[in-house]
Structure formats: C-alpha cells, structure tokens
Amino acid sequence: MALTRVTKAQSFYGQLVIGPPASGKSTYCAKVFEFYRDKLNRQVAVVNLDPANENMDYQPSVDIMELIKVEDVMESLKLGPNGALMYCMEYLETNFDWLVGKLGHIKDCYLIFDMPGQVELYTHHNATKNIFHRLEKMRYHLCTVHMIDSHYCSDPSKFISTLLLSLSTMLQIGLPHVNVLSKADLLKKNSDKLDFGLDFYTDVLNLEYLLDLLDDGPFTSKYRKLNAALVSLVEDYSLVNFIPLDVSSDKSLLTLKSAVDKANGYVYGSGEERSIQTLLSCAVGARTESERFDSDFM
C-alpha cells in the first residue's frame, strides 16, 4: 500500500494518551471525545493503538486490532503479554503504511490516540517513538498526555518513581508533553493521607522535603545517597509538573484541553477559525496551577 501523500498545506493535530495500566487512559479518551464533540463542537476521532484493548467505551475510527492482536501473537509466537505487546508495536512500525492509509480516511478531525499501558514502550523501546516521529514529519502535530494515577502521591517513594517515569518518558518520546494526575477527585477525598498540600505534587515544589521523608522511612532510609541522587536528577532537569484531572468535571477537562492545545500548537493553527468558546477556554489555561486547582477541586 502506497503512503498517503500529504500536501504542504495540510496539518493534523492530536494527542497521544499514554500511562501505566489502570491510570484511566481509555476512560479519558472516551470522555474527552464526547467533551470535544458535544461541548466544543470540534471534529474529533479516536485512534486505538492498543492491540490488547478489549473494553473501549468509544467507537474508534482506526483500530490496530484490525491489523494485529496481542492474543494472536502470544498464541502464535509463544510470547508473554509484555513481549507480545512490544512485538505488536514493532509490527505496526514495519507496517507504517497501514496506519497512514487508515488515518488518510479521517478528514479534518482532531485525533486522540489511545495507547498501550506498558511503560517500557515509552521509556526505552523505540518503536512507538519512531512511529510518531514519522507522523510528525508528515505534519501531524502531536502532544503526549501522560496519565498518572494520583494515588501515587500518598507514598513518597511511589511519587519519586512517578517523577522518574515521567521524566524518562519525556526525554525518550521527544514530543511536547503534558503530565496529568488522573482521578483527582479521589485525591481530594483522601487529601488527609498526603504529607504536603496538593500544590506540592502538581507543581513539584522543593523536593528536599520529600527527601526528608525518604530518609526517615523504614524501607528507604538505608538508600540515603540514592534518594538524594534521584531527587537531584529530577530537580536538575526541572521539567516535570502535573495537571490534576477529574474526568467528570467539564472545567477540569477544559483546563487540560487548554494546556494540550498550546503544547501541540492547535490553538495557533493558521487559517483555522476558532470559536469564541475555544478562545476563552485558552485564556483559562493561562492561570497558574494553584489557581486552577483551587477553583476546580477545592
């Protein structure tokens, strides 16, 4: 199948929804699809690139399971689920023209890519990165939306792991990136279990306070030098912060939309008329993280 030719004037916008299993990726894709379509009157399509995604709450416009499935790979090649998933993404990279051909049938739509949950695909495996860098060269302006379950904030060592995962993913994928704390409504309900205020976790403030907790922990205190090195690594790059998300809140979805539209350049797209509602929503995105959190979740 020949690759679809993209003219110089054509540009496409979208977001790659990634994150560990159970972080809320597919739920977010379904909710944001309805929100963009019904509330913002935006033409939108969902692309499922998770070859093991059996429980979709949306109708994908493109579905990788028409090309390959994890179950079939596990059975035919005698691989475990992780190895089979990596094989599937490598197979998609090899059959890149299939994806381009399918995307070519989607006209004038904002794209939401529902991605697999295996973190190795985004931290050091190259297939996913290669696929989207090739799309980027074809004028697909994409932003990574990295979903992290907010319950990890309740444990210092888990939160450090979350920071390192986010940082390594940002550096590996190499696309505009927005980190998200999903299930923020549950985070609010359990705020008494947090060691610090919520803005500490969204803005990733002075991690020396977190280091003190790690050094006092019964299981982490013996790794003082390692703890200090990890905290220093995150602070030296100074790239990681989070936007809290409650998918049941339109205001929360609007706040995240504003950040993503700026990251992938959708809001700056030349030659496209923007509605008053979209322009106003982008103004909402200019607020600080603390202001957003206060108005949305407090």
- Residue 155 Rama label (left phi>0; alpha psi -120 to 50; beta): beta
DSSP string covering 119-171, please? THHHHT-SHHHHHHHHHHHTTEEEEEEEEEEGGGGGSHHHHHHHHHHHHHHHH
Radius of gyration of the chain (CA): 20
Instruction: For the chain, 298 residues long, give each residue's pLDDT as a single digit of tens.
Output: 455 554 445 789 999 999 998 899 999 999 999 999 999 999 999 999 999 998 888 999 999 999 999 999 999 999 999 999 999 999 999 999 999 999 999 988 999 999 999 999 999 999 999 999 999 999 999 999 999 999 888 888 889 999 999 999 999 999 999 999 998 887 777 667 788 888 888 888 788 888 888 888 777 888 889 889 988 988 888 889 999 999 999 999 999 999 999 999 998 874 444 453 444 445 444 444 344 444 454 4
**Residue 105 domain flag:** yes
Q: Dig out the tokens for 181 from the structure.
A: 């704390």
Give the three-state DSSP class for 81. Answer: helix
**Residue 271 domain flag:** yes
**Residue 36 domain flag:** yes
Q: Dig out the tokens for 282 from the structure.
A: 């982008």
β-pair partners for 41: none
**Residue 143 domain flag:** yes
**Residue 94 domain flag:** yes
- The separation between CA 232 and the C-alpha centre of its own chain, rounded to angstroms, equals 24
Neighbours of 257 (CB within 10 A): 25
Phi, psi dihedrals of residue 111, rounded to the nearest 5°: -105, 135
Q: 8: closest CA among 132, 155, 139?
A: 139
Residues in contact with 80: Cβ distance below 8 Å, sequence separation at least 6, in sequence order: 74
**Residue 152 domain flag:** yes
Q: What pLDDT is recorded for position 3?
A: 53
**Residue 80 domain flag:** yes
Q: What pLDDT is recorded for position 217?
A: 79
Say what the pTM is. 0.85
**Residue 209 domain flag:** no
265-268 contacts, C-beta under 8 A, 24 or more apart:
265/13, 265/141, 265/176, 266/13, 266/110, 266/141
Residues in contact with 44: Cβ distance below 8 Å, sequence separation at least 6, in sequence order: 33, 36, 37, 109, 110, 111, 112
| Number of domains, the chain | 1
> Could you tell me the CATH number of the domain that includes residue 279?
3.40.50.300
Query: What's the sign of the alpha-carbon dihedral 197, 202, 203, 209?
Result: positive
90 lies in which domain range?
Answer: 12-204+240-297
